[in-house]
Structure 1
Amino acid sequence: MDSDSQSPPQPGLETTPPPGAAGGARPRRTIPLRRRLLFAAIALLLALLLVEGSLRVYVALRGWTPNVYAAQLLLFRPHPETGYDLTPNFELRSGTFHISTNSFGLRGPEIAADKPDGTTRIVLIGGSAAFGYLVSDGQEAARLVEQQLNDAGVGPVEVLNAAVPGYNLFQSNIRFREVVAPLEPDIVVLYVGCNDVRYLVSDDPIATEESRTFSVPAWERMLGHSVLYGLVAYRLLGRKPDFGVGRRVQSEPTEAGIAQFQSKLEEIQRDAEAAGAQVVVCSQATASQPDVADDLKIAVGDNEEDIARAVRIFDTLKATLDDFANRNGLPFVDVEAVVPPTTEYLGDGIHLTPAGERLFADELSAALIPLLQNVQSEGTSEEMP
């Protein structure tokens, strides 16, 4: 037999047909990369929606609002002149805080556009310290003062909290003209200073005070509606704001900065008078004091030099506010003098705890009661024939 002849298949042995032979195995069909990526994206989207839905059920069962982890993304909205302001009809509810704004973008309950007959309206102006940054609705000084004044028999009184976290006097003046003046205030309480430090120590205070922009892009405001995004970006990866003035500011007050602060005080005084309102000036409670408690020093600065610088800055602010009040014959309420710089009353360098808010409210109410009594007596005299 020819050696090149093929032997017949032996029993038990298998032969593999050549490619393309009849009855052979077909090649495996591969899915295009574009389609695989599409399937992966859909699967990821479904997974994210499942997690989002689960988180929403979780926060709802706890009585929280969906913005619980990133409330600041929705609390603020862009403003063409001030950079931002407060979103009307906002609400945050968490295990720690309940914060809400009314239809005017003021913290607190809803009010009528037209002041009720016989009612005195008092407006609190300032930044986060006046807003009540660390306390829930009902615990901030504005609400406490309103209750105390009405209980004292000098009402009916409405106290409007027009403060906005982060606002300096440049921004507060604009807010007063746009939002507060139309609400017919009778008394305007200034609790300001901390947010003006940036231009108080600047050689070019006008440029510094106006350099305010809305730092939250539109895409992140959209994502702010997501519980999952807020949890990851702000609870797991976010950082807390630093309110240690001595740590952030490495300069001393300048003549130009002090003059600019004074000019902004005069401006809001003129606007208040034009609206028929009396101005009351307060010093700010702060940890930047020589006798600050040891466990609160870190909220002021990293070392003794930083702390001493912060003390000098706030001494300058207080002296400027006191001088402004004296020159214009305005009441001056020294809140700093009655709030000890301890962690019982201050949660950080400038923000009051519930106990601190009560001390602030007590001091402010005590100053406002005789002022309201005088207003009422003058009103009674005018009504007599």
Structure 2
Amino acid sequence: MAFPSQGSALKLKNVLLFLASIVLSVLVAEAAVRYIDGYRMSALALGDPEGSASVDPAMLDKFPLAAGVDGKWFFSEPPPLSNRRKVDPEWQRTYHYIEDHNTGGMEFRPADPFKAWNSVFAGDPCKHSFLHHAPGMLYLYDPPDGQPRPPYRYMPDATQPTGLVTNQMGWRGPPIEVPRGPKTVRIVFVGSSTTVGAPHLPFSYPELVGYWLNRWAESRKLDVHFEVLNSARESTVSTDNVAIVKNEVAPLRPDLVVYYEGGNQFELHSIVDKVPPRSEAPKTPPATVVPGWLQEATRYSAIAARVRAAIGMTGPSQDGREWPKPAYKLQWPEGLSETDPDLAYPKLPVNLNLIQRDLDDMRSAVQKVGSDFAVSSFLWMVKDGLVLDPVRHKYILDQLNRVYFPFRYRDLERLAIFQNRLLAKYARTHDIPFIDTARYFPLDPDLFVDAVHTNYAGLRLQAWITFNLLVPVVDKHLADRSWPRPADPAAPALPTITPRKVTFTCQ
């Protein structure tokens, strides 16, 4: 048998060292990019960016802590959800099939078959412009009021392929306390996707608020427990939330209901003269076809994801500035003050007349069962002159320049500020709490996924600010003993649903 010479062995050793150094360098680079872009460090599959779980402590020092709050609590989290289970294998297969084959086009998404759809809204699924994309199967439920709103509820007591975990009501989060204890303060958050949160994240911001409220109560040796629930679901508007509050939230007789929404009805068309058509949008070069191997690599590598994003950049401005916009004239309503908006003005911008009517209906439904109602300001990641990282902040750029085309950053910022001013006045006028989270939240694109959705770092900061602003409200009600509300022995059972699975074949 021939043995390699000493020189050959040395060469082999050098090659192996060279290869090892390359592998180590790639791993270090991958870890660095995952950290910068907010991906999970420990997972093999990349998943969606979450943002760094740590927030610069300097950010936490920019607003005052509520009485009795320890700043160290920010760095702690609740225990894992006790109701998280393994995903049904059939659901998992269906989810991946839709994900890989895009059976529903751009609208019907992989998570949509695992919602309980309102049977009045659905009608004949094959005749429905949206639901006919379903893979021959849907879950339906019959609404108690016979109305088509809300379009759906999440499946109750389920763990979805997206990672979403639901309780008996089909709401995100841990099981609901049944029966409600006499020392339990119940708070329910209402809203849309910005409230329910990305399903793959471990917690939504209301869940963190509840966790910190309980730490606050324990530190003060208060004989109360906080149950904070999240009734939100994505794509809802204020009128959907009226139905949710009446049919789902009010029957739980919460102590407080908090409304947080402000993006799904944010339309500037009513105050813009001759809105330029989309055909006037700046022409963009055709999207570059991404090789299959690179597409597959983006599932596991943040470096590959960056390369793919760089290849796919098609925006007119690739340096992160606002894209060129066609000329238009924003006509501010005559006689409407921007600094002190008239709630009764008949033609308020961005659907605020409709939103106010819906807030009135929600507030009335809540107060009829003896509960309190609160409104929060809404976070927007937009500012005139904003410059973004075209790769890391790709979705912010895309939303501000494509989804909200042709509106300029300065006008989006102007209306976002106006909307929050009006919500603040609404709260003052009706003597309800105003949770002004947007006042303290930093305008930092690294805390956002797009212009309105935060990543996990932003979500934690939003929860922390909201928690600190809620503490004085809670403290006042505990002091006057109006919370927790006395138990009602005649209170109805939880308004749960029993979805039924239907199958169909559309021509």
Normalising to structure 1: TM-score of the pair? 0.63
Per the TM alignment, residue 355 of structure 1 is displaced from its structure 2 partner at its CA by 0.8
User: In 2, distance between residues paired with 1:309 and 1:185?
Assistant: 38
Aligned to 2:357, the other structure's residue is in SS state helix
> Is 1:169 the equivalent of 2:169?
no
Q: Which residue of 1 aligns with 2:399?
A: 299
Query: One-letter code of the match for 2:165?
Result: S
Shift of 1:125: 0.6
Contact 1:115 1:184 in 2 (8 A): no
1:345–1:253: structure 2 CA closer, same or farther, 3 Å change rule? farther
Number of the residue aligned with 2:413: 311
| Alpha-carbon distance in 2 for matches of 1:74, 1:103 | 15
Which residue of structure 1 aligns with residue 214 of structure 2? 150
What is the one-letter code of the residue matched to 2:399? Answer: A
1:121 alignment partner in structure 2: 186
Please tell me whether the aligned partners of residues 293 and 341 of structure 1 are also in contact (alpha carbons under 8 angstroms). Answer: no
In the TM superposition, residue 117 of structure 1 has moved relative to its aligned partner by: 1.6
Conserved in 1, the CA contact under 8 Å of 2:150 and 2:241?
Answer: no
1:1-385 maps to which residues of 2 (within 5 A)? 65-66=92-93, 67=95, 69=99, 70-78=110-118, 79=121, 80-89=147-156, 90-93=158-161, 98-133=163-198, 135-138=200-203, 140-153=204-217, 155-198=224-267, 255=347, 257-290=351-384, 292-295=386-389, 296-302=396-402, 305-379=407-481
> Offset at 1:290?
3.4
Higher mean C-alpha displacement, 170-179 vs 372-381: 372-381
| AA of the residue aligned to 2:400 | V
User: d(CA) in 2 for partners of 1:174 and 1:369?
Assistant: 28
| Partner SS state of residue 408, structure 2 | helix
Contact 1:287 1:300 in 2 (8 A): no
Offset, 1:317: 1.7
Q: Which amino acid counterpart does residue 365 of structure 1 have in structure 2?
A: F
Mapped to 1, the partners of 2:411 and 2:210 lie a distance apart of 36
**Cα root mean square deviation, aligned:** 3.5
Equivalents in 2 of 1:325, 1:367: separation in Å?
15
Q: Secondary structure at the match of 1:152?
A: helix
> Offset at 1:134?
6.2
Q: Which amino acid aligns with 1:137?
A: P
Distance 1:315 1:378, change over 3 A: same
Moved more, 277-286 or 351-360: 277-286
Change (3 A) 1:362 1:291: farther
Deviations 1:310-363 (A, max 9, x none): 223322321221110111122222222333333321101111111111111111
Shift in CA distance, 151/190, structure 1 to aligned 2, threshold 3 Å? same
Find the aligned partners of 1:306 and 1:381 in 2 and give their Cα distance: 46
Name the amino acid aligned to 1:376.
L
Larger RCO: Structure 1 or Structure 2 (Cα < 8 Å, ≥ 6 residues apart)? Answer: 2
Structure-2 separation of matches of 1:382 and 1:158? 11
Partner amino acid, structure 1, of 2:191 = G
CA distance in 1, matches of 2:437, 2:185: 23
Percent identity over paired residues: 22
Q: Aligned in 2, Cα 1:341/1:135: closer, same or farther, shift over 3 Å?
A: farther
Structure 1, unaligned runs of 5 or more: 1-58, 204-243
SS in 1 for 2:232: coil
Structure 1 residue 258: deviation in Å?
Answer: 2.7
What residue ranges of structure 2 are gaps of 5+ in the alignment?
A: 1-85, 100-109, 122-146, 272-321, 334-346, 390-395, 486-507
Whole-Å separation in 2 of the counterparts to 1:315 and 1:270? 26
Higher Rg of the two aligned structures: 1
> 2:429 and 2:258 mapped to 1: Cα distance?
17
Over 3 Å counting, the alpha-carbon distance change for 1:126 and 1:312 in structure 2 is same
Please give the alpha-carbon distance, in whole angstroms, between the structure 2 residues aligned to 1:380 and 1:184: 13
TM-score (norm 2): 0.49
- For the 8 Å contact 1:114–1:183, the answer to whether it is kept is no
SS in 1 for 2:375: strand
Post-superposition Cα deviations, 1:158-198, rounded to whole Å, max 9, x if no partner, equal 11101110111111011101001111111111101211225
Aligned length: 277
Partner of 2:337: none
Distance change in 2, residues 1:142/1:382 (3 Å): closer
Distance 2:170 2:199 in 1: 19
Deviations 1:278-299 (A, max 9, x none): 2221111121333645234443
Contact preservation (8 Å) 1:113, 1:183: no
Residue 255 of structure 2 contacts residue 372 of structure 2 at CA under 8 Å; is this kept in 1? yes
The alpha carbon displacement at 1:259 in A equals 2.1
CA positional deviation for 1:308 = 2.5
Distance (whole Å) between structure 2 residues aligned to residue 381 and residue 143 of structure 1: 20
Partners in 2 of 1:116 and 1:382 — Cα distance?
Answer: 9
